[in-house]
């Protein structure tokens, strides 16, 4: 076993400190498709390209990393996420031309209705449909970061209730199914889906019905506000 460098993590030492940042994939569903909040970079490198909102960890302001994530979002839009989750920390020499960097990647979700209320984004901010991103591509390795977040979202949508965070405050079961189909990237069976969602006891009828569409449908709302439900099995 080597005898050098046996210090524990935080001994004062002379190593070059890596740059630590937080990047957030902030997702929403609009027009039947997942969209992501992008920032147009105004300086090199990758000037003019789209990037995920992100920024340095501010040791003086941020108590922890989720605060950093919330802050970097708040610097770009007043639209606060309904859900936020740390996904992975990615680091390497090659991911940024300016040197060894580490970024803590977060996934954030906001409900359709909440986003509806607020569309006052800065001019450098833009919601972009994931489908359209294939050609545009993102700055740095943000395409890969987005892939990781997508993977996490698809996986967790199969056994948790997190797609509910993307739905408007009031929704029909058909809409809920559509949203789960988008996030799981699969088509779901109607009866199974409804049974599963209702048996979980996580939504409740508002008593109201929709007016639009070919036929009225019962409206539901989220019940266990703020709690992610874990279903006993996967769907889809």
Question: Of 84 and 219, which has the nearer Cβ to a copy of itself?
Answer: 84
Distance (Å, whole) CA 136 – CA 16: 34
Distance (Å, whole) CA 65 – CA 87: 12
In the region spanning residues 177 to 216, those forming contacts with DNA, defined by CB under 7 A, are 188-196, 199, 209, 211, 213-216
| Choices 13-21, 24-32, 136-144, 169-177; region in contact with DNA by CB under 7 A | 169-177
Closest CA to 25 of 147, 156, 185, 188: 147
* Shortest reach from residue 209's CB to a copy of itself, in Å: 36
Contact 192, 176 (CB under 8 A): no
Closest CA to 206 of 219, 217, 191, 223: 219
Single out the residue of 99, 151, 186, 195 in contact with a copy of itself (rule: CB under 8 A).
99
| Choices 53-61, 127-135, 185-193, 212-220; region in contact with a copy of itself by CB under 8 A | 53-61
Distance (Å, whole) CA 13 – CA 220: 57
HEC assignment per residue over 52-77: CCEEECCCCCCCCHHHHHHHHHHCCC
> Taking CB under 8 A as the rule, does residue 119 contact a copy of itself?
no
Single out the residue of 96, 184, 193, 222 in contact with a copy of itself (rule: CB under 8 A).
96
Report how many residues bind DNA under the rule CB under 7 A: 27
Closest CA to 73 of 138, 27, 20: 27
CB atoms within 10 A of CB 36: 24
State the binding partner of 152 from a copy of itself, DNA, none, CB within 5 to 8 A by kind.
Answer: none
Distance (Å, whole) CA 189 – CA 113: 26
Single out the residue of 32, 48, 92, 113 in contact with a copy of itself (rule: CB under 8 A).
92
Interface residues toward a copy of itself, by CB under 8 A? 1-2, 4-13, 15-23, 39, 41, 43, 51, 54-60, 63-65, 74-78, 86, 88-93, 96, 98-104, 120, 122, 124, 139-140, 232-234
Interface residues toward DNA, by CB under 7 A? 172-174, 188-196, 199, 209, 211, 213-218, 231-236
């Amino acid at each position: 076993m080597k005898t050098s460098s046996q210090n524990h993590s935080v001994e004062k030492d002379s190593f070059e400190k890596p740059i630590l940042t937080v990047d957030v994939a902030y997702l929403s569903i609009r027009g039947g498709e997942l969209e992501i909040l992008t920032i147009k970079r105004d300086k090199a490198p990758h000037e003019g390209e789209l990037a995920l909102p992100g920024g340095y960890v501010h040791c003086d302001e941020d108590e922890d990393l989720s605060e950093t994530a919330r802050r970097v979002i708040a610097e770009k839009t007043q639209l606060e996420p309904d859900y936020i989750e740390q996904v992975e920390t990615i680091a390497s020499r090659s991911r940024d031309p300016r040197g060894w960097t580490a970024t803590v990647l977060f996934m954030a979700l906001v409900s359709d209705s909440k986003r509806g209320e607020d569309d006052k984004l800065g001019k450098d901010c833009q919601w972009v449909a994931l489908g359209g991103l294939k050609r545009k591509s993102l700055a740095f390795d943000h395409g890969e970061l987005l892939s990781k977040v997508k993977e996490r979202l698809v996986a967790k949508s199969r056994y948790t209730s997190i797609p509910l965070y993307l739905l408007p405050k009031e929704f029909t079961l058909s809409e809920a199914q559509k949203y789960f189909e988008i996030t799981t990237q699969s088509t779901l069976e109607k009866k199974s889906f409804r049974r599963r969602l209702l048996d979980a006891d996580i939504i409740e009828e508002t008593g109201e019905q929709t007016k639009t569409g070919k036929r009225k449908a019962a409206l539901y709302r989220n019940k266990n506000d703020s709690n992610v439900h874990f279903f006993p099995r996967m769907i889809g």
